[in-house]
Amino acid sequence: MKKKSKLTIVERAKQNVPGFTEVSEKLEQQVVLRGQSKSTLNNYIRRIALISLNFGKLPHLVSDDEINEYLVGLARDPKSPSRSSFKHMVYGLRYYYRLMGLTGKAIALPSLKGETKLPIILNRSELKELFSAPKLLKHRVVLSLIYSAGLRGAEVINLKISDIDFERKTIHIRQSKYKKERILPLSEGISKGLKKYLTAEQPHIWFFNGKKLGEQYSSKGLSWIMRATLKKTSIKKEVNLHSLRHAYATHLLEEGVNIVTLKELLGHSNITTTMVYLHVAQCKNIHAHSPFDSLYKRNGKD
């Protein structure tokens, strides 16, 4: 019994749902062929495992009415106010149905409305307080680095020592969300802290090593650093590790960086994703006005 309780949801599905093992292998092949991330694969397989275990069979063998009833239950779940479980299940089912050649079923699934929430932005004073709060140098450095280059958590984990060029002042991001490599400017200010960290910690291969030699730092570990550090500050905003990336993007806009350049720096595949920061940035040089007022003006004269 103890051994059974330690099984993951996917492992349980492989044991108890006929055909699930073959489907998961096929799903893995497709994600690899399409160049999608491992996290995407794990999320899809886990969602399919959940619904398969619920019905005791693969989703395409379950009636449309039963599937819809299951999705309604997820959408109404009071424990998931952001409806994230519902959304990810729909995404997983869409991918699954296409994989099985049942595109009609994929189209019939409920449509998802885009998120309307704007990101919460830490101001500069809050960031300074945050970066000075940790006692450990490693914690101060990793949080500062994320903000200084607008990195995703996964990008920090995959960062190797060789990816940072102190002479050229660049950071090479090789394993991004969309498999899109990019070169980022290395802050002179953060460069000093990184060198101090390398001397003190002497990491091996990965810039931020895990507990074991040659092991990467974990995403859970990064999130914990942020949560633990926030408790030491006076910051009351509901923010997380990704909020540092939001602050990076917003502050660059406020300092005059154009939206197209920002898109490339962030590694977004679509500029509409980047444009959300236009709603939160306080650009002092841009004031609401009618272009007619300046239409006949030349060099400030009528």
**For position 2, what pLDDT does the model report?**
43
Highest mean pLDDT among 17-31, 41-55, 121-135, 174-188: 121-135
pLDDT, mean of residues 109-136:
85
CB-based contact 107:90 (threshold 8 Å):
no
Residue 273 has pLDDT above 70, yes or no: yes
Phi, psi dihedral angles at 206 (to 5 degrees):
-80, 140
pLDDT score of 14 more than 60? yes
Is the confidence at residue 4, as pLDDT, over 50? no
Residue 290 has pLDDT above 50, yes or no: yes
**Whole-angstrom Cα distance, residue 23 to residue 98?**
12
CA distance 45 to 43: 6
Q: What is the structure's pLDDT at 213?
A: 73
Q: Stretch 255-269: mean pLDDT, rounded?
A: 90
Local structure of residue 163 (DSSP, 8 states): G
* Domains of the chain as residue ranges with CATH: 8-108 (no CATH), 124-279 (1.10.443.10)
What is the number of H-type helices and E-type strands within the chain?
16, 3
pLDDT at 159: 95
When pLDDT is averaged across residues 278-291 and rounded to a whole number, the result is: 68
pLDDT at 235 exceeding the cut of 70: yes
Rounded to a whole number of angstroms, the distance between the first and last alpha carbons of the chain is 85
DSSP conformation class of 215 = P
| Amino acid at position 94, single letter | R
Confidence at residue 289, expressed as pLDDT on a 0 to 100 scale: 57
pTM: 0.63
pLDDT in tens, 68-97: 888 877 776 666 545 567 778 888 888 888
Quick check: 52 pLDDT over 90? yes
- Tell me the C-alpha distance between 111 and 90, whole Å: 9
Task: Give the pLDDT confidence score for residue 79 in this predicted structure.
Answer: 61
On the question of pLDDT at 279 being above 50, the answer is yes
Name which of 6-10, 74-78, 136-140 the model is least confident about.
Answer: 74-78
Give the distance between the most distant pair of CA atoms in the chain: 85
